[in-house]
Structure 1
Protein backbone atom coordinates (compact mmCIF):
# COMPACT_ATOMS: atom_id res chain seq x y z
CA UNK A 1 0.00 0.00 0.00
CA UNK A 2 1.48 3.30 -1.09
CA UNK A 3 3.87 5.46 0.82
CA UNK A 4 3.62 6.93 4.30
CA UNK A 5 3.49 3.61 6.12
CA UNK A 6 4.59 3.92 9.73
CA UNK A 7 5.79 1.20 12.04
CA UNK A 8 2.52 1.08 14.00
CA UNK A 9 -0.87 1.23 12.22
CA UNK A 10 -4.03 1.30 14.33
CA UNK A 11 -7.47 0.65 12.86
CA UNK A 12 -10.52 1.85 14.74
CA UNK A 13 -14.09 2.52 13.72
CA UNK A 14 -17.68 2.04 14.76
CA UNK A 15 -19.28 -1.40 15.01
CA UNK A 16 -19.80 -2.74 11.49
CA UNK A 17 -17.18 -0.54 9.86
CA UNK A 18 -15.16 -3.55 8.72
CA UNK A 19 -12.03 -2.55 10.61
CA UNK A 20 -11.12 -6.14 11.54
CA UNK A 21 -11.05 -7.30 7.91
CA UNK A 22 -9.04 -4.20 7.06
CA UNK A 23 -6.54 -4.80 9.85
CA UNK A 24 -6.08 -8.43 8.78
CA UNK A 25 -5.62 -7.65 5.10
CA UNK A 26 -3.36 -4.68 5.76
CA UNK A 27 -1.15 -6.77 8.05
CA UNK A 28 -0.92 -9.49 5.41
CA UNK A 29 0.04 -6.89 2.81
CA UNK A 30 2.93 -5.74 5.01
CA UNK A 31 4.05 -9.33 5.56
CA UNK A 32 3.99 -9.94 1.80
CA UNK A 33 6.37 -6.99 1.40
CA UNK A 34 8.82 -8.80 3.66
CA UNK A 35 8.20 -6.64 6.72
CA UNK A 36 8.18 -8.44 10.10
CA UNK A 37 4.58 -7.83 11.13
CA UNK A 38 2.44 -8.62 14.15
CA UNK A 39 -1.35 -8.30 14.17
CA UNK A 40 -2.66 -7.26 17.59
CA UNK A 41 -6.26 -7.89 18.63
CA UNK A 42 -7.34 -5.11 21.00
CA UNK A 43 -11.06 -5.55 20.32
CA UNK A 44 -12.95 -5.97 23.59
CA UNK A 45 -16.26 -4.83 22.07
CA UNK A 46 -17.52 -7.25 19.41
CA UNK A 47 -17.54 -10.95 20.38
CA UNK A 48 -18.40 -12.16 16.85
CA UNK A 49 -15.83 -10.39 14.66
CA UNK A 50 -12.46 -10.60 16.34
CA UNK A 51 -9.06 -11.37 14.89
CA UNK A 52 -8.51 -13.99 17.57
CA UNK A 53 -11.29 -16.15 16.07
CA UNK A 54 -9.22 -16.74 12.92
CA UNK A 55 -5.82 -16.75 14.62
CA UNK A 56 -4.87 -20.27 13.53
CA UNK A 57 -5.71 -19.56 9.90
CA UNK A 58 -3.66 -16.36 9.91
CA UNK A 59 -0.72 -18.03 11.59
CA UNK A 60 -0.77 -20.67 8.86
CA UNK A 61 -0.31 -17.79 6.42
CA UNK A 62 2.80 -16.73 8.32
CA UNK A 63 1.33 -13.81 10.27
CA UNK A 64 2.15 -13.32 13.95
CA UNK A 65 -1.11 -12.79 15.87
CA UNK A 66 -1.12 -11.37 19.40
CA UNK A 67 -4.38 -11.84 21.29
CA UNK A 68 -5.80 -13.28 24.51
CA UNK A 69 -5.67 -17.08 24.49
CA UNK A 70 -7.12 -19.99 26.38
CA UNK A 71 -9.85 -19.08 28.86
CA UNK A 72 -9.46 -15.36 28.01
CA UNK A 73 -10.01 -15.75 24.28
CA UNK A 74 -13.75 -14.98 24.33
CA UNK A 75 -13.73 -12.68 27.33
CA UNK A 76 -15.14 -9.15 27.01
CA UNK A 77 -12.35 -7.90 29.22
CA UNK A 78 -9.13 -6.06 28.43
CA UNK A 79 -6.91 -9.09 29.16
CA UNK A 80 -3.90 -7.75 27.29
CA UNK A 81 -0.95 -10.00 26.47
CA UNK A 82 2.45 -8.59 27.52
CA UNK A 83 3.72 -9.27 23.99
CA UNK A 84 1.91 -6.09 22.86
CA UNK A 85 4.47 -3.97 24.68
CA UNK A 86 7.22 -5.93 22.95
CA UNK A 87 5.89 -4.96 19.53
CA UNK A 88 5.60 -1.30 20.50
CA UNK A 89 9.15 -1.18 21.85
CA UNK A 90 10.85 -3.16 19.07
CA UNK A 91 11.98 -0.68 16.36
CA UNK A 92 12.41 -3.50 13.88
CA UNK A 93 8.85 -4.83 14.05
CA UNK A 94 5.68 -3.52 12.43
CA UNK A 95 2.44 -3.68 14.39
CA UNK A 96 -1.14 -3.55 13.08
CA UNK A 97 -3.76 -3.00 15.79
CA UNK A 98 -7.46 -3.86 15.58
CA UNK A 99 -9.14 -1.69 18.23
CA UNK A 100 -12.70 -1.96 19.52
CA UNK A 101 -15.08 0.47 17.90
CA UNK A 102 -16.47 2.54 20.75
CA UNK A 103 -15.31 4.53 23.76
CA UNK A 104 -14.63 1.35 25.78
CA UNK A 105 -12.41 -0.11 23.08
CA UNK A 106 -10.65 3.19 22.52
CA UNK A 107 -9.96 3.53 26.24
CA UNK A 108 -8.02 0.26 26.10
CA UNK A 109 -5.86 1.75 23.33
CA UNK A 110 -5.24 4.79 25.51
CA UNK A 111 -3.24 2.62 27.91
CA UNK A 112 -0.47 2.52 25.33
CA UNK A 113 -0.29 6.25 24.63
CA UNK A 114 3.10 6.67 26.39
CA UNK A 115 4.57 4.07 23.98
CA UNK A 116 3.25 5.74 20.82
CA UNK A 117 5.52 8.59 19.66
CA UNK A 118 3.59 10.83 17.26
CA UNK A 119 5.84 10.14 14.26
CA UNK A 120 5.83 6.37 14.79
CA UNK A 121 2.15 5.52 14.32
CA UNK A 122 -0.98 6.09 12.27
CA UNK A 123 -4.44 5.95 13.82
CA UNK A 124 -6.88 5.33 10.98
CA UNK A 125 -10.63 5.66 11.41
CA UNK A 126 -12.57 3.21 9.22
CA UNK A 127 -15.89 4.44 7.85
CA UNK A 128 -18.77 2.41 6.43
CA UNK A 129 -21.30 5.01 5.28
CA UNK A 130 -24.02 2.35 5.18
CA UNK A 131 -23.98 2.00 8.96
CA UNK A 132 -26.54 3.91 11.07
CA UNK A 133 -24.18 6.22 12.99
CA UNK A 134 -21.83 7.07 10.11
CA UNK A 135 -24.24 7.72 7.23
CA UNK A 136 -23.33 11.41 6.96
CA UNK A 137 -20.40 13.69 7.73
CA UNK A 138 -21.90 14.84 11.03
CA UNK A 139 -22.20 11.26 12.29
CA UNK A 140 -18.68 10.41 11.16
CA UNK A 141 -17.25 13.47 12.90
CA UNK A 142 -19.15 12.80 16.14
CA UNK A 143 -18.03 9.16 16.25
CA UNK A 144 -14.42 10.02 15.45
CA UNK A 145 -14.27 12.72 18.12
CA UNK A 146 -15.71 10.40 20.77
CA UNK A 147 -13.04 7.80 20.02
CA UNK A 148 -10.28 10.42 20.07
CA UNK A 149 -11.48 11.63 23.46
CA UNK A 150 -11.53 8.11 24.88
CA UNK A 151 -8.09 7.05 23.67
CA UNK A 152 -6.45 10.51 24.04
CA UNK A 153 -4.88 10.12 20.60
CA UNK A 154 -5.53 11.97 17.35
CA UNK A 155 -6.81 10.23 14.23
CA UNK A 156 -4.35 10.71 11.37
CA UNK A 157 -6.52 9.57 8.43
CA UNK A 158 -9.80 8.08 7.27
CA UNK A 159 -10.30 4.76 5.48
CA UNK A 160 -13.23 4.53 3.07
CA UNK A 161 -14.87 1.12 3.52
CA UNK A 162 -18.54 1.52 2.65
CA UNK A 163 -20.17 -1.86 2.04
CA UNK A 164 -23.38 -3.84 2.30
CA UNK A 165 -21.74 -7.20 2.75
CA UNK A 166 -22.40 -9.63 -0.08
CA UNK A 167 -24.80 -7.13 -1.70
CA UNK A 168 -22.06 -4.55 -2.26
CA UNK A 169 -21.45 -3.14 -5.74
CA UNK A 170 -18.89 -0.55 -6.79
CA UNK A 171 -21.64 2.08 -6.99
CA UNK A 172 -22.36 1.65 -3.26
CA UNK A 173 -18.69 2.10 -2.44
CA UNK A 174 -18.34 5.22 -4.58
CA UNK A 175 -21.44 6.82 -3.04
CA UNK A 176 -20.10 6.14 0.43
CA UNK A 177 -16.69 7.45 -0.49
CA UNK A 178 -18.21 10.85 -1.29
CA UNK A 179 -19.59 10.99 2.27
CA UNK A 180 -16.18 10.06 3.68
CA UNK A 181 -14.55 12.79 1.58
CA UNK A 182 -17.02 15.37 2.90
CA UNK A 183 -16.11 14.46 6.49
CA UNK A 184 -12.39 14.43 5.70
CA UNK A 185 -12.56 17.98 4.34
CA UNK A 186 -14.23 19.26 7.51
CA UNK A 187 -11.74 17.37 9.70
CA UNK A 188 -8.78 18.42 7.57
CA UNK A 189 -7.66 14.79 7.38
CA UNK A 190 -6.61 12.68 4.39
CA UNK A 191 -8.55 9.72 3.07
CA UNK A 192 -5.64 7.31 3.10
CA UNK A 193 -7.22 4.42 1.22
CA UNK A 194 -10.40 2.75 0.09
CA UNK A 195 -11.12 -0.95 0.52
CA UNK A 196 -13.27 -3.44 -1.33
CA UNK A 197 -13.72 -7.17 -1.83
CA UNK A 198 -11.05 -8.51 -4.12
CA UNK A 199 -13.50 -9.08 -6.98
CA UNK A 200 -14.54 -5.40 -6.91
CA UNK A 201 -11.21 -3.70 -6.33
CA UNK A 202 -9.99 -3.40 -9.91
CA UNK A 203 -13.24 -1.99 -11.29
CA UNK A 204 -13.54 0.34 -8.31
CA UNK A 205 -10.19 2.02 -9.04
CA UNK A 206 -11.62 3.48 -12.25
CA UNK A 207 -14.35 5.31 -10.31
CA UNK A 208 -12.34 6.74 -7.40
CA UNK A 209 -9.96 9.73 -7.35
CA UNK A 210 -6.71 8.99 -9.21
CA UNK A 211 -3.92 7.88 -6.94
CA UNK A 212 -6.14 6.77 -4.06
CA UNK A 213 -4.87 3.34 -2.91
CA UNK A 214 -7.45 0.55 -2.96
CA UNK A 215 -6.87 -2.41 -0.64
CA UNK A 216 -8.40 -5.62 -2.03
CA UNK A 217 -9.98 -7.59 0.80
CA UNK A 218 -9.92 -11.34 1.20
CA UNK A 219 -12.72 -11.98 3.68
CA UNK A 220 -11.77 -13.94 6.79
CA UNK A 221 -14.52 -13.14 9.27
CA UNK A 222 -17.80 -15.06 9.35
CA UNK A 223 -21.05 -14.39 11.12
CA UNK A 224 -21.92 -17.03 13.75
CA UNK A 225 -24.70 -18.48 11.57
CA UNK A 226 -22.25 -19.12 8.73
CA UNK A 227 -20.65 -21.83 10.82
CA UNK A 228 -23.72 -24.03 10.42
Structure 2
Protein backbone atom coordinates (compact mmCIF):
# COMPACT_ATOMS: atom_id res chain seq x y z
CA UNK A 1 0.00 0.00 0.00
CA UNK A 2 1.36 3.42 -0.94
CA UNK A 3 0.22 5.26 2.20
CA UNK A 4 1.10 5.38 5.87
CA UNK A 5 -1.04 3.07 8.01
CA UNK A 6 -3.65 4.90 10.06
CA UNK A 7 -6.17 3.66 12.61
CA UNK A 8 -9.30 4.63 10.66
CA UNK A 9 -9.65 4.00 6.93
CA UNK A 10 -12.78 5.19 5.13
CA UNK A 11 -13.66 3.90 1.66
CA UNK A 12 -16.17 5.94 -0.30
CA UNK A 13 -17.22 5.86 -3.92
CA UNK A 14 -20.16 5.92 -6.26
CA UNK A 15 -22.45 2.98 -6.96
CA UNK A 16 -20.43 0.31 -8.77
CA UNK A 17 -17.03 1.57 -7.68
CA UNK A 18 -16.26 -1.63 -5.77
CA UNK A 19 -15.69 0.13 -2.45
CA UNK A 20 -17.47 -2.53 -0.38
CA UNK A 21 -15.27 -5.30 -1.77
CA UNK A 22 -12.23 -3.15 -1.09
CA UNK A 23 -13.30 -2.34 2.45
CA UNK A 24 -13.83 -6.02 3.24
CA UNK A 25 -10.48 -7.08 1.80
CA UNK A 26 -8.66 -4.22 3.51
CA UNK A 27 -10.18 -5.07 6.89
CA UNK A 28 -9.16 -8.71 6.44
CA UNK A 29 -5.63 -7.61 5.55
CA UNK A 30 -5.45 -5.76 8.88
CA UNK A 31 -6.62 -8.87 10.70
CA UNK A 32 -3.93 -10.92 8.94
CA UNK A 33 -1.36 -8.51 10.37
CA UNK A 34 -2.65 -9.32 13.83
CA UNK A 35 -4.50 -6.02 14.28
CA UNK A 36 -7.94 -5.85 15.98
CA UNK A 37 -10.04 -4.81 12.98
CA UNK A 38 -13.69 -3.83 12.72
CA UNK A 39 -15.57 -3.10 9.52
CA UNK A 40 -18.35 -0.52 9.76
CA UNK A 41 -21.18 -0.61 7.22
CA UNK A 42 -22.35 2.98 6.67
CA UNK A 43 -23.65 2.35 3.16
CA UNK A 44 -27.26 3.55 3.10
CA UNK A 45 -27.28 3.76 -0.70
CA UNK A 46 -26.81 0.34 -2.33
CA UNK A 47 -29.36 -2.31 -1.26
CA UNK A 48 -27.54 -5.21 -2.96
CA UNK A 49 -23.84 -4.87 -2.12
CA UNK A 50 -23.60 -4.20 1.59
CA UNK A 51 -21.18 -5.63 4.13
CA UNK A 52 -24.09 -6.45 6.44
CA UNK A 53 -25.38 -9.06 3.96
CA UNK A 54 -22.38 -11.31 4.64
CA UNK A 55 -21.94 -10.38 8.30
CA UNK A 56 -21.94 -13.96 9.55
CA UNK A 57 -19.31 -15.07 7.03
CA UNK A 58 -16.99 -12.18 7.89
CA UNK A 59 -17.36 -12.78 11.61
CA UNK A 60 -16.35 -16.40 11.02
CA UNK A 61 -13.17 -14.99 9.45
CA UNK A 62 -12.47 -13.02 12.62
CA UNK A 63 -13.77 -9.57 11.73
CA UNK A 64 -16.04 -7.49 13.92
CA UNK A 65 -18.89 -6.25 11.71
CA UNK A 66 -20.83 -3.17 12.81
CA UNK A 67 -24.10 -2.46 11.05
CA UNK A 68 -27.79 -1.78 11.76
CA UNK A 69 -29.39 -4.68 13.63
CA UNK A 70 -32.58 -6.67 13.35
CA UNK A 71 -35.38 -5.20 11.28
CA UNK A 72 -33.15 -2.25 10.30
CA UNK A 73 -30.47 -4.43 8.74
CA UNK A 74 -31.87 -4.14 5.20
CA UNK A 75 -33.26 -0.63 5.59
CA UNK A 76 -32.18 2.34 3.52
CA UNK A 77 -32.52 4.70 6.47
CA UNK A 78 -29.40 5.85 8.31
CA UNK A 79 -30.17 3.86 11.47
CA UNK A 80 -26.61 3.80 12.76
CA UNK A 81 -25.59 1.79 15.84
CA UNK A 82 -23.72 3.37 18.78
CA UNK A 83 -20.99 0.70 18.40
CA UNK A 84 -19.47 3.01 15.77
CA UNK A 85 -18.44 5.38 18.55
CA UNK A 86 -16.49 2.57 20.16
CA UNK A 87 -14.42 2.13 17.02
CA UNK A 88 -13.77 5.85 16.69
CA UNK A 89 -12.84 6.41 20.33
CA UNK A 90 -10.81 3.29 21.19
CA UNK A 91 -7.15 3.95 20.27
CA UNK A 92 -6.45 0.21 20.24
CA UNK A 93 -9.00 -0.61 17.52
CA UNK A 94 -8.62 -0.31 13.76
CA UNK A 95 -11.75 0.66 11.87
CA UNK A 96 -12.56 0.27 8.19
CA UNK A 97 -15.63 2.24 7.09
CA UNK A 98 -17.72 1.44 3.99
CA UNK A 99 -19.58 4.63 3.06
CA UNK A 100 -21.94 5.39 0.19
CA UNK A 101 -20.58 7.95 -2.26
CA UNK A 102 -23.63 9.98 -3.20
CA UNK A 103 -24.73 13.06 -1.25
CA UNK A 104 -26.88 11.01 1.16
CA UNK A 105 -24.11 8.54 1.96
CA UNK A 106 -21.49 11.22 2.41
CA UNK A 107 -23.82 13.23 4.64
CA UNK A 108 -24.12 10.21 6.93
CA UNK A 109 -20.32 10.14 7.17
CA UNK A 110 -20.33 13.84 7.98
CA UNK A 111 -22.23 13.12 11.20
CA UNK A 112 -19.12 11.39 12.51
CA UNK A 113 -16.55 13.82 11.13
CA UNK A 114 -16.02 15.69 14.42
CA UNK A 115 -15.29 12.35 16.14
CA UNK A 116 -12.62 11.14 13.73
CA UNK A 117 -9.18 10.99 15.37
CA UNK A 118 -7.15 13.98 14.13
CA UNK A 119 -4.34 12.97 11.78
CA UNK A 120 -5.15 9.29 12.29
CA UNK A 121 -7.58 8.55 9.45
CA UNK A 122 -7.63 8.15 5.69
CA UNK A 123 -10.59 9.05 3.48
CA UNK A 124 -10.08 7.26 0.18
CA UNK A 125 -12.21 7.68 -2.93
CA UNK A 126 -12.56 4.40 -4.84
CA UNK A 127 -12.70 5.00 -8.59
CA UNK A 128 -13.91 2.62 -11.28
CA UNK A 129 -13.26 4.37 -14.60
CA UNK A 130 -15.70 2.03 -16.34
CA UNK A 131 -18.65 3.52 -14.46
CA UNK A 132 -20.72 6.36 -15.99
CA UNK A 133 -19.89 9.07 -13.44
CA UNK A 134 -16.12 8.47 -13.25
CA UNK A 135 -15.07 7.83 -16.86
CA UNK A 136 -12.84 10.89 -17.15
CA UNK A 137 -10.53 12.89 -14.92
CA UNK A 138 -13.06 15.73 -14.90
CA UNK A 139 -15.82 13.36 -13.80
CA UNK A 140 -13.65 12.05 -10.96
CA UNK A 141 -12.80 15.54 -9.75
CA UNK A 142 -16.46 16.59 -9.86
CA UNK A 143 -17.51 13.56 -7.80
CA UNK A 144 -14.74 14.08 -5.26
CA UNK A 145 -15.71 17.71 -4.73
CA UNK A 146 -19.35 16.72 -4.29
CA UNK A 147 -18.49 14.12 -1.64
CA UNK A 148 -16.18 16.51 0.21
CA UNK A 149 -18.88 19.17 0.29
CA UNK A 150 -21.49 16.73 1.62
CA UNK A 151 -19.35 15.15 4.35
CA UNK A 152 -17.27 18.27 5.18
CA UNK A 153 -14.08 16.22 5.08
CA UNK A 154 -11.21 16.14 2.62
CA UNK A 155 -10.37 13.07 0.55
CA UNK A 156 -6.76 12.04 1.26
CA UNK A 157 -6.15 9.62 -1.60
CA UNK A 158 -7.59 7.74 -4.58
CA UNK A 159 -7.90 4.00 -5.02
CA UNK A 160 -7.70 2.82 -8.62
CA UNK A 161 -10.29 0.06 -8.97
CA UNK A 162 -11.37 -0.02 -12.61
CA UNK A 163 -13.23 -3.22 -13.40
CA UNK A 164 -15.97 -4.79 -15.49
CA UNK A 165 -16.88 -7.44 -12.96
CA UNK A 166 -16.18 -10.98 -14.14
CA UNK A 167 -15.20 -9.66 -17.59
CA UNK A 168 -12.26 -7.63 -16.23
CA UNK A 169 -8.85 -8.08 -17.83
CA UNK A 170 -5.55 -6.53 -16.79
CA UNK A 171 -5.66 -4.24 -19.84
CA UNK A 172 -8.96 -2.75 -18.63
CA UNK A 173 -7.43 -2.08 -15.21
CA UNK A 174 -4.40 -0.36 -16.73
CA UNK A 175 -6.50 1.87 -18.99
CA UNK A 176 -8.64 2.98 -16.08
CA UNK A 177 -5.61 3.44 -13.86
CA UNK A 178 -4.25 6.03 -16.27
CA UNK A 179 -7.47 8.04 -15.95
CA UNK A 180 -7.26 7.84 -12.15
CA UNK A 181 -3.64 8.97 -12.18
CA UNK A 182 -4.51 11.94 -14.41
CA UNK A 183 -7.18 13.04 -11.92
CA UNK A 184 -4.85 12.50 -8.96
CA UNK A 185 -2.19 14.75 -10.49
CA UNK A 186 -4.71 17.58 -10.93
CA UNK A 187 -5.97 17.08 -7.38
CA UNK A 188 -2.46 16.79 -5.95
CA UNK A 189 -3.47 13.54 -4.26
CA UNK A 190 -1.76 10.14 -4.19
CA UNK A 191 -3.08 7.01 -5.86
CA UNK A 192 -2.62 4.83 -2.80
CA UNK A 193 -3.09 1.51 -4.61
CA UNK A 194 -4.46 -0.16 -7.70
CA UNK A 195 -6.82 -3.01 -6.86
CA UNK A 196 -7.25 -6.17 -8.91
CA UNK A 197 -8.79 -9.58 -8.65
CA UNK A 198 -6.14 -11.91 -7.24
CA UNK A 199 -5.67 -13.90 -10.45
CA UNK A 200 -4.80 -10.69 -12.36
CA UNK A 201 -2.24 -9.29 -9.92
CA UNK A 202 1.00 -10.72 -11.32
CA UNK A 203 0.17 -9.77 -14.91
CA UNK A 204 -0.77 -6.28 -13.77
CA UNK A 205 2.44 -5.81 -11.77
CA UNK A 206 4.46 -6.61 -14.89
CA UNK A 207 2.97 -3.52 -16.57
CA UNK A 208 3.23 -1.07 -13.67
CA UNK A 209 6.29 0.79 -12.34
CA UNK A 210 8.37 -1.38 -9.98
CA UNK A 211 7.06 -1.25 -6.44
CA UNK A 212 3.73 0.37 -7.28
CA UNK A 213 1.25 -0.94 -4.69
CA UNK A 214 -1.15 -3.54 -6.09
CA UNK A 215 -3.85 -4.78 -3.73
CA UNK A 216 -5.13 -8.31 -4.40
CA UNK A 217 -8.88 -8.83 -4.02
CA UNK A 218 -10.76 -11.94 -3.06
CA UNK A 219 -14.39 -11.51 -4.14
CA UNK A 220 -17.02 -11.80 -1.43
CA UNK A 221 -20.02 -9.83 -2.67
CA UNK A 222 -22.69 -11.27 -4.95
CA UNK A 223 -25.94 -9.76 -6.15
CA UNK A 224 -29.07 -11.71 -5.19
CA UNK A 225 -29.57 -12.89 -8.79
CA UNK A 226 -26.05 -14.40 -8.76
CA UNK A 227 -26.87 -16.50 -5.71
CA UNK A 228 -29.84 -18.26 -7.30
1:3 to 1:142, Cα distance in 2 relative to 1, 3 A: closer
Q: Write the deviation string for residues 81-131 of structure 1: whole angstroms up to 9, x where unpaired.
A: 100000000000000000012010000000011111341100000000000
Q: Structure 2 CA distance, aligned partners of 1:44 and 1:34?
A: 30
| Deviation (angstroms), 1:34 | 0.3
- TM-score normalised by the chain length of structure 2: 0.98
1:216 aligns with 2:216: yes
Q: Structure 2 CA distance, aligned partners of 1:118 and 1:190?
A: 19
Do 2:2 and 2:191's aligned partners in 1 also have CA atoms closer than 8 Å?
no
| Deviation (angstroms), 1:2 | 5.4
**Equivalent residues in 2 for 1:105-120, closer than 5 Å:** 105-120=105-120
Aligned to 1:94: 94
Aligned to 1:14: 14
Do 2:88 and 2:117's aligned partners in 1 also have CA atoms closer than 8 Å?
no
Q: Write the deviation string for residues 157-209 of structure 1: whole angstroms up to 9, x where unpaired.
A: 00000000011000000000000000000000000001011101121111123
1:79 aligns with 2:68: no
**Equivalent residues in 2 for 1:114-193, closer than 5 Å:** 114-193=114-193
Q: Structure 1 CA distance, aligned partners of 2:2 and 2:209?
A: 15
Number of residue pairs aligned between Structure 1 and Structure 2: 228
- Report the secondary structure of 2:210's partner residue: coil
Q: Structure 2 CA distance, aligned partners of 1:207 and 1:179?
A: 16
Q: Structure 2 CA distance, aligned partners of 1:210 and 1:68?
A: 42
Q: Structure 2 CA distance, aligned partners of 1:210 and 1:191?
A: 15
Please list every run of 5 or more consecutive structure 1 residues that lacks an aligned counterpart in the other structure.
none
Aligned to 2:31: 31
Q: Structure 1 CA distance, aligned partners of 2:207 and 2:187?
A: 24
- TM-score normalised by the chain length of structure 1: 0.98
| Deviation (angstroms), 1:3 | 5.1
**Equivalent residues in 2 for 1:191-210, closer than 5 Å:** 191-210=191-210
Q: Structure 2 CA distance, aligned partners of 1:201 and 1:223?
A: 24
| Deviation (angstroms), 1:211 | 2.1
Q: Structure 2 CA distance, aligned partners of 1:212 and 1:33?
A: 20
- Report the secondary structure of 1:123's partner residue: strand
- Report the secondary structure of 2:146's partner residue: helix
CA RMSD of aligned residues (A): 0.9
Q: Structure 1 CA distance, aligned partners of 2:175 and 2:51?
A: 28
